[in-house]
Amino acid sequence: MTPGALRHELAAIVGEEFALGGDDPRYLADQTAFSAIQGAADAVVLPADAAQVAAVVAWCHEHGVPVVPRGGGTGWAGGAVPLGTGVVVALERMTAVRALDPLQWRMQVEAGVTTATVRRLARENGLCFPPDPGAAEQSQIGGNVATNAGGPHCFKYGVTGAWVTGIEAVLSPGMIVSVGGAARKDVAGYDLRGLLVGSEGTLGIITAAWLRLIPAPAGSWPACAFYRDADAGGEAVGRVMAAGPVAAAVEYLDGGALAIVGGGFPGGVPADAGFLVIAESDTGAGDCEALAEALGEGAIGGVVLPPDPAALWRWRDGVGPAVTAVHGGKLSDDVAVPVECLADAVREVEAIGLRHRLESCSWGHAGDGNLHATFLLDPRDDLAVHRARRAADDLLAMAIEMGGTISGEHGIGVLKNGWLRRQWAPAAVAAHEAVKDALDPTGMFNPGKKLA
């Protein structure tokens, strides 16, 4: 069937206006575009509701056409990028809030609702949806569930999956299935909800989710301390975890990242600082004092208590874009290691960068041992891109060697194809493949991703 005919058939389901050509650049790339993962598709559809998603999937199943689910396109793994053929199913029109029950601390939203909207609705009702991935204005809750997204406050509260009590999804061959729901506990069946969380569009299309909320924390009391190097900073992270009060977030920036963004740090950065640790309490000034005391040993110039926490977090949110701006691009991987290996991993990122003649830096969620290990590059420089890919291979190998994981946040997508087989034993990979075969026997959902 020609792409034109295919699009014509899908237009009968979603409407002419919402069946687009497969060459529409808005739906062919994500944040990995610089590394030459450029997509191509036969068509792009924008369904209005779960019934239309089901009809599109049923049609694709019948005609042997692959389906690529797409949220906000903020992914860092190429997961939403169509690899040559198939139909991109973009959820952006599915933005209904189906239920908002503040007194029961929960809501049900369609997949296309943005992360920022979910967090704002919770906040306006005195509540909190804790997962706080960085691209909240663009990323969608369906994408967050599909990648099991994290963020700074997931140290205390856990990643997205911990806040999902139910999922509605369209599975092969085109049926709408609900697993879980409004009930806070449900241990009746196999954890199909858990299987869909983090499935990166390879098992089906998430069309809605039930989300658990909590009363909004009392406030934000961050404490910051600079150290001469990663070793001293890593020790401080250990002391924070042993301090008593559970920090809401424990973040770090290494010397390379500080050299780029330090100028904007509220209060300035001491000249000989090579590492920053931020530990935030959300339970009060008393708990912040305990965290500050834990940070104190070896801190250059003492512990800083920023008077405007929102300004601090705005600065922290700007780290990624500022690093990108240095040369116009970066290859950033989200490896995670056991927290006691953080300092070793930070030093190793630097060594890998030197080995591959690339500027490097890292920052991230120290309490989770989760690094945004980054190689800076000009995306037009093919050789630099090539060297960065080799550096990323060394990085993933390092994470596995340290007993960590190739992905603490962004997933596997297409960027880390094949690496799951290096992280997991063959029997574990086989169990993983059996799940894929059971739920998607024809392999129609997001082929070439995650397990490929």
Ligand X SMILES: Cc1cc2nc3c(=O)[nH]c(=O)nc-3n(C[C@H](O)[C@H](O)[C@H](O)COP(=O)(O)OP(=O)(O)OC[C@H]3O[C@@H](n4cnc5c(N)ncnc54)[C@H](O)[C@@H]3O)c2cc1C
Binding of ligand X at residue 409 (CB under 6 A)?
yes
Compose the 121-140 pattern: x for residues touching ligand X by CB under 6 A, - for all others: ------------xxx---xx
Binding of ligand X at residue 69 (CB under 6 A)?
yes
Binding of ligand X at residue 75 (CB under 6 A)?
yes
Closer residue to ligand X in complex, CB, 90/269: 90
Residues numbered 330-369 forming contacts with ligand X, rule: CB under 6 A: none
Binding footprint of ligand X, residue count (CB under 6 A): 37
Q: Which of 18-26, 147-155, 185-193, 346-354 is the region at the interface with ligand X (rule: CB under 6 A)?
A: 147-155
Shortest distance, CB of residue 400 to ligand X, whole angstroms? 20
User: Which residue among 73, 256, 329, 404 contacts ligand X (CB under 6 A)?
Assistant: 73
Shortest distance, CB of residue 301 to ligand X, whole angstroms? 28
Closer residue to ligand X in complex, CB, 75/245: 75
User: Which residue among 22, 39, 79, 198 contacts ligand X (CB under 6 A)?
Assistant: 79
Binding of ligand X at residue 440 (CB under 6 A)?
no
Binding of ligand X at residue 180 (CB under 6 A)?
no
Binding of ligand X at residue 198 (CB under 6 A)?
no
Shortest distance, CB of residue 312 to ligand X, whole angstroms? 16
Binding of ligand X at residue 166 (CB under 6 A)?
no
User: Which residue among 128, 149, 335, 361 contacts ligand X (CB under 6 A)?
Assistant: 149
User: Which residue among 22, 39, 47, 150 contacts ligand X (CB under 6 A)?
Assistant: 150
Closer residue to ligand X in complex, CB, 316/387: 316
Which residue number places its CB atom closest to ligand X?
Answer: 143
Binding of ligand X at residue 52 (CB under 6 A)?
no
Binding of ligand X at residue 6 (CB under 6 A)?
no
Q: What CA–CA distance (Å, rounded) separates 110 from 181?
A: 13
**Which of 119, 125, 124, 127 is closest to 160 using CA atoms?**
119
Binding of ligand X at residue 410 (CB under 6 A)?
yes
Closer residue to ligand X in complex, CB, 72/306: 72
Residues numbered 218-277 forming contacts with ligand X, rule: CB under 6 A: none
Q: What CA–CA distance (Å, rounded) separates 11 from 220?
A: 49
Name the residues that contact ligand X, by CB under 6 A: 30-31, 68-76, 79-80, 91, 111, 133-135, 139-140, 142-144, 146-147, 149-151, 200-201, 205-206, 320, 409-410, 413, 446
